[in-house]
Structure 1
């Protein structure tokens, strides 16, 4: 299986440097990964480094907690797109989900998706599934499908567990072909990546992209 086109080559450590980003982008271009995913601070440099290549540039919004206000998330999206990203990975407001404030959750996802789509870009909604019940996952997925998000993403990798095969299979079933699945968090080997793809993931978010394709 050729895994290169599935990988979002990722570095989101709080202490990552410009040199780290430059290496990440070199590796992504060399191996023709689907995208790089970098902190908002490094977006402009990553966009410059990936220009004239097939590698998309993604960044995170409301990361990693998700409880930033909707207007602040929208400003993050606008700034990131202005600086060159083509994909947004945005965290849902988990506090609102846990509080049962579904009007807020719906408005948050709708606003983030609209802000992204108005600029012709794609959005991945991060559910942080390890913190949600199956009922909550099903309800959030329903909202995402109604708002026509491109991707359902399992996890940030920073809060609780990462991706599991069971949750990827669940998301794939719930999406029913209306959204793609990104598995993220704790995927470090080729065998793991292949299992997630077989389970239904169409993107793999990992900081171990080079090691994965090397087997």
Structure 2
């Protein structure tokens, strides 16, 4: 799967992750030339130091992980610290709790506040949509809202909600997203041919939470 390495982002977000496992993922990113490394906010500063300023891979972290229902003010603080610590891609989890309530208009306001902070530091703004929780109309609505807000990438899942990989759902997510925004797909459980189909369909990033080397 060497030809896929430049599309793969290694994610190390599960709550039982050890420091050694994170270093193993970092070594994979460096040795295999992967696209990026996604760590929890607690570890951003450490891995920014390890990567240095010239490392070609992107260092990402999450905000509002895993369910997105924190107050916007808390997410703003998370964003500020993540940027200060050296993250260059901020993955913000959609507040589905607000979406499913009369407060749904707040989602648009929240995106507007966060994208301003992120783009001011010339970092990437990724919106994470837990697409398995959304019906098709809601998914279309949130894809449009995130795109209109200035998202650089849309991601189809957090990886924290249990569920099997579905190529059909992943390709549907790619089709819903306009060409002006990048797409990240959580590809744990996908076969190499399925990942090749995703890349051929225009998916820019494949997020893998498991080691590539064995």
Q: Same fold (TM over 0.5)?
A: yes
Equivalent in 141, 144, 153 of residue 142 of structure 1: 144
Corresponding residue SS for 2:154: strand
The RMSD of aligned alpha carbons is 1.9
**8 Å contact kept, 1:157–1:185:** no
In the aligned structure 1, how far is the partner of 2:112 from the partner of 2:99? Answer: 15
1:1-215 paired onto structure 2 within 5 Å: 2-51=3-52, 52-161=54-163, 164-184=166-186, 186-208=188-210, 210-211=212-213
In the aligned structure 1, how far is the partner of 2:94 from the partner of 2:33? Answer: 29
How far apart are residue 175 of structure 1 and its match?
2.4
List alignment gaps of at least 5 residues for structure 2: none
In the aligned structure 2, how far is the partner of 1:162 from the partner of 1:90? Answer: 22
List alignment gaps of at least 5 residues for structure 1: none
Could you tell me the TM-score, scaled by structure 1's length? 0.91
Number of equivalent positions: 212
**8 Å contact kept, 1:155–1:183:** yes
Could you tell me the TM-score, scaled by structure 2's length? 0.91
In the aligned structure 1, how far is the partner of 2:72 from the partner of 2:139? Answer: 20
In the aligned structure 2, how far is the partner of 1:163 from the partner of 1:72? Answer: 31
Which stretch shows the higher mean deviation, 138-147 or 101-110? 101-110
**8 Å contact kept, 1:35–1:56:** yes
